[in-house]
């Protein structure tokens, strides 16, 4: 084996100080162009690689951000993960991924997070507990809840305007002359589902309509297949279904068309939430409330950087505005145009 090349070796060859070598390999550190060039050339010649873990013991920074995520089969989450990873890499951080077991209490897995001395944590799954987030926060590790909120005023969160989105969908359906709207709920304990349903019910009430029919799809394709069957077997079948995410809306359209022989939107309007890639595939052409994914990711990275800089910054909840993407899966109001 080889002797490991050290920063001292690089500094000697480059004719610089060892601290200059360290600064060149620390993202965001100040260093002159000439020094950077000399150090980079020497490092390349020697095959030098800074050891991030040894450095973390000095700087107390591991340059690792833990991301806890489940439901990677809902395209919203892989898209978030890819964007978040790209943005963090650009800042010199990498994601340590924690996938939660969907069928078990998630906290025991998350206990592992603390063992890696991560610099920050992003909780991007609806099934993880706020209690754990609070515990991390108390240990001085910033936590951002992504796509979920909490009543705990000490926690940071970044979400889309879920209630506003549900409200906009109710108004759109009511204005389009729908009279028996239904709602397929996601995970009932999640803040996303609660807020989307609240806004939807409020919007229908404002339009003088009764509370919607309701079934639960647990945010999964299979769950939504069952929920759609329940709703469409009724004698007072709904004329519109708002699904709490696109992943379920796709299942809903598949069942309506291929099991019940219904035309969408002539016999049944379907609306989703998230605006993921498959919503734009012409087979679905799904009307959906768009979550502002890239602004949400950017806000998350910005908050993480601020909190790592200054852990005493007060907590805040960022809510980013989305918009209704009107496509072909739901009947439009007469005066909607398009």
| Binding residues vs a copy of itself (CB under 8 A) | 1, 25, 49-54, 56-57, 62, 64, 67, 72-73, 75, 77-79, 81-82, 85-86, 89, 94-99, 101, 109, 111-112, 114-117, 140, 221, 250-251, 253-254, 257-258, 277-278, 281-284
Q: What is the spatial distance between Cα 316 and Cα 153, in angstroms, rounded to a whole number?
A: 8
Instruction: State the number of CA atoms in the 13 A half-sphere of 221 facing the CB.
Output: 9
Structure tokens at 201: 């019910």
Q: Is 338 exposed, middle or buried (0-12, 13-18, 19+ CB in 10 A)?
A: exposed
CB 335, min distance to a copy of itself, A: 27
- Rounded CA-CA distance 225/249 in Å is 9
Shorter beta-carbon distance to a copy of itself: residue 72 or 305 = 72
d(CA 74, CA 219): 8
Question: For a copy of itself, which is the closer residue by CB, 114 or 305?
Answer: 114
| CA 231 to each of CA 214, 246, 255, 286: distance values in angstroms, whole numbers, following the listed order | 8, 18, 11, 19
Least distance to a copy of itself, CB of residue 50, Å? 5
Nearer to a copy of itself, 128 or 204 (CB): 128
How many other CB atoms sit within 10 Å of the CB of residue 19? 12
> Taking the complex as a whole, how short is the minimal distance between the CB of residue 331 and a copy of itself, in angstroms?
20
Q: Which is nearer to a copy of itself, 70 or 240 (CB)?
A: 70
Q: What's the min distance (Å) between Cβ of 95 and a copy of itself?
A: 4
Tell me, what DSSP letter sits at residue 40?
Answer: H
* Least gap, CB of 75 to a copy of itself (angstroms): 7
Q: How far is the CB of 212 from a copy of itself (least distance, A)?
A: 25
Q: Provide the 3-class DSSP secondary structure of residue 288.
A: strand
Indicate the residue among 11 and 213 with the shorter CB distance to a copy of itself: 11
Identity of the residue, 164 or 288, whose beta carbon is nearer to a copy of itself in the bound complex: 288
């Amino acid at each position: 084996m080889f002797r490991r090349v050290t920063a001292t070796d690089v500094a000697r060859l480059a004719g610089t100080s060892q601290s200059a070598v360290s600064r060149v390999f620390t993202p965001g550190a100040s260093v002159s162009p000439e020094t950077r060039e000399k150090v980079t050339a020497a490092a390349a010649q020697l095959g030098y690689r800074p050891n991030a873990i040894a450095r973390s013991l000095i700087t107390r920074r591991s340059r690792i951000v833990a991301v806890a995520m489940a439901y990677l089969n809902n395209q919203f989450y892989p898209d978030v993960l890819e964007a978040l990873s790209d943005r963090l890499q650009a800042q010199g951080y990498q994601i340590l991924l924690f996938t939660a077991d969907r069928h078990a209490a998630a906290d025991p897995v998350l206990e592992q997070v603390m063992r890696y001395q991560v610099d920050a944590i992003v909780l991007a799954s609806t099934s993880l507990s706020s209690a754990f987030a609070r515990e991390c926060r108390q240990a001085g590790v910033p936590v951002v809840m992504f796509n979920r909120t909490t009543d705990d005023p000490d926690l940071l969160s970044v979400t889309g305007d879920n209630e506003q989105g549900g409200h906009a969908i109710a108004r759109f359906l009511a204005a389009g002359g729908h009279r028996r709207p239904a709602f397929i709920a996601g995970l009932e304990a999640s803040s996303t589902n609660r807020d989307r349903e609240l806004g939807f019910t409020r919007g229908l009430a404002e339009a003088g309509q009764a509370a919607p029919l309701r079934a639960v799809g647990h945010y999964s394709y299979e769950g939504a297949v069952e929920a759609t069957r329940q709703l469409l077997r009724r004698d007072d079948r709904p004329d519109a279904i708002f699904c709490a995410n696109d992943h379920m809306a796709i299942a809903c359209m598949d069942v309506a068309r291929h099991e019940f022989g219904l035309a969408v939107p002539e016999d049944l309007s379907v609306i989703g939430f998230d605006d993921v890639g498959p919503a734009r595939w012409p087979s679905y052409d799904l009307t959906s409330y768009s979550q502002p994914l890239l602004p949400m990711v950017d806000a998350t990275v910005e908050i993480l950087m601020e909190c790592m800089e200054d852990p005493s910054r007060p907590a805040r909840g960022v809510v980013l505005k989305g918009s209704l993407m009107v496509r072909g899966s739901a009947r439009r109001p007469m005066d909607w145009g398009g």
